[in-house]
Amino acid sequence: MSANTSKKLEELGKGMVKDIDEGKGPEFESVLRTKSNTIYDEGIGCLRLGEKNETRKFISVAQARTFMQTVAIAAKTKQFLSQNLHTSIRGLFYQLKVSLGENMDEDLFSEQSESNALIEDLEVALKLKREDLNLTTDRKGFVAGPMVIKDRFGGEETTIDCAKQGRSGWSIPSDVDNGMEIEKVKADYVLVVEKDALWQRLNEDQFWKKENCLVITPKGQSTRGTRRLLRKLADQKLPIYCLMDCDAWGWYIYWTIKTGSMNLAYLGRDFSVPEAKFIGVTMSDIEEYEFLQKLTIKAKEVDIKRAEEMLGYPWINRHPEWVKELKMVLKTKKKIEQDALQGQRLTFVGEYIKSKIENKKWLP
């Protein structure tokens, strides 16, 4: 991957040099990252960018500055690749400050958010991931279960058995592609639970062992690493079942896993799992499980607003099950947390999940 990425960066540079040699102002093509160029791809089942391109020009008062910044990032990450070293966006930011700072009238990267947008430019233009540029991103999320990982990092190769990580589990890294592979996975399915606390509960019950599954928590919203890992597991034909809170945040976490999100649509299929299924917690559970009735919480304005918004998305309102679910939220103005499943007895969570999967009681 690394050699391929270096080549792409080199070609970008060579193209610009060619432009200059031919007396033209250097430029490069990228795909427009706007809401109007974000589409839901029915065939794949995820959000992605459309076909509209934009050309970034150096000879342009509006674009000269960002153009130069993008070139600086490309040069710097190419250097990281040849050094075989990784850093964060913050590390890149300081490197650029040192190497470019002193010859400039103003600080080139005054704000980190600026470099972030420029990295997205590069990802889209070169059709690669920032992880391929040796840039690390925030990591979060854990795995327990029958999966063996081969990890080549810092000059060493390590084998990690996710079934032998005790109470801690295996921490999902920032990059699950470069220098890393799933050596073996012998699970029947993948269970994704929103919260680490519930993951710990299921890990203590050895749910993954009894059910021969992988239990994964994104610890809230999924990181890029967690989304990529889930994509790779789905590619191995493992069903992906998700257990989230029944509220605005839980639904958002689910739909980001399934279709991606509007503002990260440029990541496309590589970071989404259209095959994912939502096993709970649902509004209908409140009717089905009596003890849950006294454990509901009043929905907040953000939950109501989010439910209304979701009813407007064509990729959601095409599913009558979700329309029914969301309308129940709007009607009852209630929500419920996944933690409530422990209310009756701590081990009930596992029983609930088993019953949901066995009876195919899930939402698309």
Closest listed residue to residue 279, CA positions, set 352, 167, 362, 183: 362
Closer to a copy of itself by CB, 160 or 363: give it.
160
Please report the DSSP string for 317-335 in residue order.
Answer: HT-HHHHHHHHHHHHH-EE
Q: What is the 3-state secondary structure (H, E, C) of 201-212?
A: HHHHCCHHHHCC
Q: What angle do CA 18, 22, 23 make, to 5 degrees?
A: 120
| Closest CB to a copy of itself among residues 167, 237 | 167
| Choice between 138 and 321, CB closer to a copy of itself | 138
Minimal distance in Å, beta carbon 190 to a copy of itself? 18
Q: Tell me the closest approach of the beta carbon of residue 88 to a copy of itself, in angstroms.
A: 4
In whole angstroms, how close is the CB of 291 to a copy of itself at the nearest point? 6
Q: Does 352 participate in catalysis according to the annotation?
A: no
358 SS3 class: helix
Question: Minimal distance in Å, beta carbon 220 to a copy of itself?
Answer: 12
Q: Which of 94, 189, 252, 313 is catalytic?
A: 94
**Shortest distance in whole angstroms from residue 205 CB to a copy of itself:** 7
Smallest CA-to-CA distance from 222 within 142, 163, 281, 150 is with 142
> What is the rounded CA–CA span in Å between residue 364 and residue 261?
17
Residue 175 or 325 having the CB closest to a copy of itself: 175
Q: How many CB atoms lie within 10 A of CB 195?
A: 19
Give me the residues paired with residue 136 across strands.
88
Instruction: Give dist(CA 80, CA 97) in Å, integer.
Output: 16
Q: Residues interacting with a copy of itself, by CB under 8 A?
A: 80, 83, 85-88, 90-91, 93-95, 97-98, 101-102, 136, 138-139, 142, 149, 151, 153-156, 158, 160, 164-175, 180, 196-197, 200-201, 203-206, 291, 294-295, 337, 339-340, 342-344, 346-347
Give the DSSP H/E element, type plus range, for residue 181: strand 180-185
* Residue 96 CA neighbour count, 13 Å, CB half: 30
- Residues with a known catalytic role: 94
